[in-house]
Amino acid sequence: MAETILVKLGELTLKGGNREGFERILRRNMLAALRSVSPGFKLESRAGRIYIHCTSEEAAEKAEQALSRLAGIAGWARTRKTGKTVDEVTAACVAEGKKLLASGIQSFKVEARRTDKSFPLNSYEICKIAGDVIRTQAPELRVDVKNPEAVISVEIREKAYIYGAGKKGRRGLPTGSAGRGLLLLSGGIDSPVAGCLIAGRGMGLDAVYFHTPPYTSPQALEKTVRLAEITGSYAMGIHLYIVNFTGVQKRIAEKSPVEWSTVLLRMAMMEAASIIARKTKAKCLITGESLSQVASQTIENLSCTESRSLFPVLRPLIGMDKETITALAKEFGTYETSILPFADCCVLFSPAHPVLRGQVDEAAALYAALGLHSREVPHIQDITGLIYDALKTAEVRKCGYYLPAYDAAPKCQILEQVQLP
Ligand code: ATP
Ligand code: MG
């Protein structure tokens, strides 16, 4: 049987003259997300709502899965669409009431809106009559107008729409309405969460992962690809740039005081990410850093790190503790992948006693010294040269354009070997 889902829009309803632009992006995202799970959906926009017409119950279930990851919607509800007669409307209300009862709900109220004034009952009368009929046919349900467990809504428009308890959406703004950013994605818990959150504020994403073969394993790479796949499914798809940072990391290990190695590595990542961001037209870099979570994330060390970035660095998790971030990772479905035990490059090279309050001047001097000539190796390449070399062999994968079930295998596709610089 054909099904209709009524979608209520989120924060974009607060927008003024530019609301239409936000709505257009939301509809485009919605259609792409829906079509990635099943063909044959039709969208209809009316009076600040979007109706999704589904060809079957199965399609409606898939649509709900897709909606759960879509930014910019306040919520949605499966809706009964009927003709505009009192009998049809009350019959649909009774069916909705019985459904609530079956799900354990005991008290309800009816709310009605009538934009078609030719309907014979006004809003108050619709509520009264529908409430009475529901009570007679489902006597276990109690009316509670002040504090009901569920609301049955009736909307009389070009058709009558009747719906009960709906589901909450991700809210926020439609992905793509706030420009593009480049996410520094590691295999940890934090950065995928940062990506999912910022995509929910409207930012389109690409991502970069730095790995260090053979010190990091192919499984560590596959794990990050999987995280990109999940993050991408919240961000309408991302391109993941995979960069071999072994040369850079070895240079840092050889030529700098060991306590500085993590901060210097982060500086090199910022420099490399900035070069990619220029190519992808990103307007900012995004990291999963949280203030003082580890030594490299004190405010002083964050200042050193971002001194090599050409773009503003957004850190959506900066004020969150690990427990909050972990809860979000579970909600987004990234947690189980993040905790797989394949070590990231940073873990392998991290010093026992890292610098805690690095100064930007000292960091800059140490960074410059990474490329200084020495008697033994007279033509040593500077660090920026090494970064360009690494980027020349970067690989790009297209991740998350489909909305996979959490347990599905990654569906990344290798696009090209890019010549980045
Ligand atoms: P995460 O859980 O995201 O790995 P973390 O708490 O382990 O974060 P760090 O390892 O210090 O913190 O990394 C800080 C941030 O730097 C990460 O959130 C990520 O944005 C970026 N980053 C770290 N390692 C990499 C990497 N190998 N590739 C890309 N970005 C990275
Ligand atoms: Mg990490």
Element (H, E) at 272: helix 261-280
- All CATH 3.40.50.620 domain ranges in the chain, comma separated: 180-414
Q: Is 273 in the pocket of ligand 1 (CB under 6 A)?
A: no
Q: Is 289 in the pocket of ligand 1 (CB under 6 A)?
A: yes
Q: Report which bound ligand comes closest to the CA of 246.
A: 1
CATH number, domain 180-414: 3.40.50.620
Q: Is 294 in the pocket of ligand 1 (CB under 6 A)?
A: yes
Q: Is 185 in the pocket of ligand 1 (CB under 6 A)?
A: yes
* Residue among 255, 215, 222 at smallest CA distance from 371: 255
Question: Which residues lie below 8 Å from residue 267, measured CB to CB, with a gap of 6+?
Answer: 304, 305, 307, 308, 363, 367
User: DSSP class of residue 296?
Assistant: G
Q: Is 184 in the pocket of ligand 1 (CB under 6 A)?
A: yes
Distance 140 CA to ligand 1 centre (A): 54
Q: Is 66 in the pocket of ligand 1 (CB under 6 A)?
A: no
Q: Is 210 in the pocket of ligand 1 (CB under 6 A)?
A: yes
Distance 190 CA to ligand 1 centre (A): 7
Tens digits of pLDDT across the chain (421 residues): 678 999 999 887 777 778 888 999 999 999 988 888 888 889 998 878 899 999 988 999 999 989 999 999 999 999 998 999 999 999 999 999 998 899 899 999 999 999 888 888 899 999 999 999 999 998 899 999 999 999 999 999 888 999 988 899 999 999 999 999 999 999 999 999 999 999 999 999 999 999 999 989 999 999 999 999 999 999 999 999 999 999 999 999 999 999 999 999 999 999 999 999 998 899 999 999 999 998 889 999 999 999 999 999 999 999 999 999 999 999 999 999 999 987 776 565 678 889 989 999 999 999 999 987 666 666 678 899 899 989 988 998 888 865 543 333 344 444 444 445 4
Q: Report which bound ligand comes closest to the CA of 315.
A: 1
Alpha carbon nearest to ligand 1 atom 30, residue: 184
Q: Token pair for residue 349?
A: 């090279």
Q: Report which bound ligand comes closest to the CA of 262.
A: 1
Q: Is 334 in the pocket of ligand 1 (CB under 6 A)?
A: no
Pocket test for ligand 1, best of 183, 185, 186, 224 (most atoms within 8 A of CB): 186
Distance, in Å, from the CA atom of 394 to the CA atom of 223, rounded to the nearest integer, reads: 18
Q: What is the pTM of this model?
A: 0.89
Distance 206 CA to ligand 1 centre (A): 15
Q: What do you get for the CA distance between the two ends of the chain, in Å?
A: 54
Pocket test for ligand 1, best of 191, 324, 338 (most atoms within 8 A of CB): 191
Residue 253, number of CB atoms within 10 A of its CB:
14
Alpha carbon nearest to ligand 1 atom 17, residue: 288
Q: Is 320 in the pocket of ligand 1 (CB under 6 A)?
A: no
Residue 394, number of CB atoms within 10 A of its CB:
23
Distance 338 CA to ligand 1 centre (A): 12
Domain 3-168 coded CATH 3.40.50.2300: no
Q: Token pair for residue 123?
A: 């809003």
Distance 211 CA to ligand 2 centre (A): 12
Point out the ligand 1 atom lying closest to the alpha carbon of residue 193: 3
